[in-house]
Amino acid sequence: MRELRYNPLTGQWIMVSSIRKERRWRPQNYCPFCPGAEETGYGWDTLVLLNKFAVLSFDAEDVKNEGFYRKAKSIGECGVIIETPEHNVKDLDELSIDQLVKVINQYINITKKFLNDRRVQYLMIFRNKGEEIGVSLTHPHGQYYAMPFIPLKIRNMIQNARNHYKRYNECLFCRILKEETKTNERTIYENNNFISFLPFYSNWPFEIHIYPKMHLQYITQFNEEQIVDFADVLKVSLNILNKLFNREMPYSFALIQAPLKGNFSNIFHMHLEIYPILRDFDKIKYAAGIEMSTWDFTYDGVPEENARKLKDICKKINIIYRGRCIE
């Protein structure tokens, strides 16, 4: 059974799927993402596959509303982005810039694929890392969901950005970038085209956002230099997080782009958000009672102090390629 169910209290769509409980959990003697596996074959640097346990599918069954509650067809696509043939790579910061560029080009190809698909309203490209996050397969990979609706968080961003534009005639995201670079208290790293920072309003103790300096809505708008610079800033940002506590940082990240339908050129600014879940070497920041009940986070610490810790790590790493750490 696979369907969408609407929450009338919050305006959210819940993706319901019985097939997801069949997902494989960290198989010990077989990796379906390694070269030579049934789905992968040989001779590839990166690979995009359909998710065998997808909550969304263009072959989804028709559904009918019954009574008060709304249902919808779970139409769309879920896919896996295999980032390297090497099984034992721990994180993207271990990949070369050239290999990371290939991964980013897959993000671009996936976005191009759905930009003109009338069935898809929003594309979320994301990555989960670490057993604490719930990653079921350890081979390095990201994912994407091509969705028939715009997620609530993105709708909130759009509404706030539209209100700000109407009042001030400026992009809200560009204003945030301006505010963050005014004092550089929370900015961490920059190159010609991108900047990474710990936001003023962070939810997670060491949350990092990566913004393009140019006002862009989609990753398909990147030129070749911007693709390489995006690989650079992502590699450095993840390396900082992995060096912070001298252990691999469990996290999720999300590539936040504009919806695929409509004109958002004035109000939306694409970016990437990284949500690391550790607040110390052996302490997880849990989204618990207050976060789950209100969606409003408590912050463990002071953002500016945590940003300073990330800045200090940045100065010690030796993989900087195209940019500079920000004092």
The DSSP bridge partners found for residue 12 are: 7
124 pairs with which residues across the strands?
145
- CA 8/CA 71 separation, integer angstroms: 11
Residue 120 CB partners (closer than 8 Å, separation 6+): 76, 77, 114, 146, 147, 148, 260
How far apart are alpha carbons 126 and 257 in whole angstroms?
11
List 139, 141, 164, 271, catalytic entry: 141
Return the structure tokens found at 267. Answer: 């109000």
Task: Please count the other Cβ atoms lying within 10 Å of the Cβ belonging to residue 307.
Answer: 24
String of b and e for 175-196 (b: at least 16 CB within 10 Å)?
A: ebbeebbeeebbbbbbbebbbb
Is residue 215 part of the annotated active site? The answer reads no
The long-range contacts involving 229-232, CB below 8 angstroms and separated by at least 24 positions, are 229/191, 229/192, 229/193, 229/194, 229/322, 229/323, 230/104, 230/193, 230/194, 231/97, 231/100, 231/101, 231/103, 231/104, 232/97, 232/191, 232/194, 232/320, 232/321, 232/322, 232/323
Question: How far is the C-alpha of 48 from the C-alpha of 223, rounded, in Å?
Answer: 22
Residue with tokens 């600014």: 269
Token code pair at residue 222: 């990147």
- What is the spatial distance between Cα 310 and Cα 188, in angstroms, rounded to a whole number? 7
Sheet holding 71-72, edge to edge: 12-17, 2-7, 71-72
Q: Report CA-CA distances (Å) from 234 to 178, 195, 211.
A: 20, 10, 11
Q: Give the residue numbers marked as catalytic.
A: 141
